[in-house]
A = this chain, B = another copy of it.
Amino acid sequence: MKRKNLTSDERKAATVEAVIALAASSNPADITTAQIGSYMDVTQGALFRHFPSKQEIWTAVMDWTANQLLARIDKVESDNPLDELEAMFVAHVDFVVTHPGIPPILFGELQRRGKTPAKALLQKLMAEYGVRLSTKLTRAKSAGLIACDTDIPAAAIMFLGIIQGLVMQSMMTGNSSMMREMSTRLFNIYLGGIGAKM
């Protein structure tokens, strides 16, 4: 069997992919460098040629995730802020459904004590997400599309919370296909909550 050498960048990308794939079927905290290596048909020691420590692998994973998620929710474009919010919602749910390992990774990172680089990236991601939500909600309010007394910070937390709840539900039942269908039903309730005129 002939061995295939990848460039350092390729191997880094493959590593991130491997971690995300593994996280879909095992607790992120329990993923070992040996498992990551074996997933890529590479020995465990080879990882340390590209990452100085395991923690750096998590940082790379968080970085990839943040970029992917923000890119997806930034792709929405409409002159109606409510349509944009719905598109963000759908894009986010879609991202999670197609990458079931991501939510456990985020939670695992969130639980970590102290401020690791990976956790800092996660906080930055959430902050930027929040800005986007607030902006669109404010525009919707100005346009008279939602109730004029809408509590925007609370509405932003709620937006993310709904997705959270969905993810949790699907992890509990092990059924992630219900997410897409349920997401529109949840979003309808959300629209009612912020007094959207339909």
Number of copies of this kind of chain in the complex: 2
Residue A1 CB within 8 A of the other chain: no
Give bound CA distance, A164 to B169, whole Å.
11
Q: What is the interface of chain A mostly: helix, strand, loop, or mixed?
A: helix
Q: 25 A-B contacts, Cβ less than 8 Å apart?
A: A26-B113, A27-B111, A29-B29, A104-B111, A107-B111, A108-B111, A110-B171, A122-B172, A123-B172, A126-B172, A147-B192, A151-B185, A153-B185, A154-B188, A158-B165, A158-B189, A160-B169, A161-B163, A161-B169, A162-B165, A189-B193, A190-B193, A191-B193, A192-B192, A192-B193
Sample of 20 more A-B contacts, CB < 8 Å, known A158-B162, A192-B192? A27-B112, A27-B113, A29-B30, A29-B108, A29-B111, A107-B107, A108-B111, A111-B171, A147-B192, A151-B189, A157-B165, A157-B166, A157-B169, A157-B182, A160-B169, A161-B166, A161-B186, A162-B165, A192-B193, A192-B195
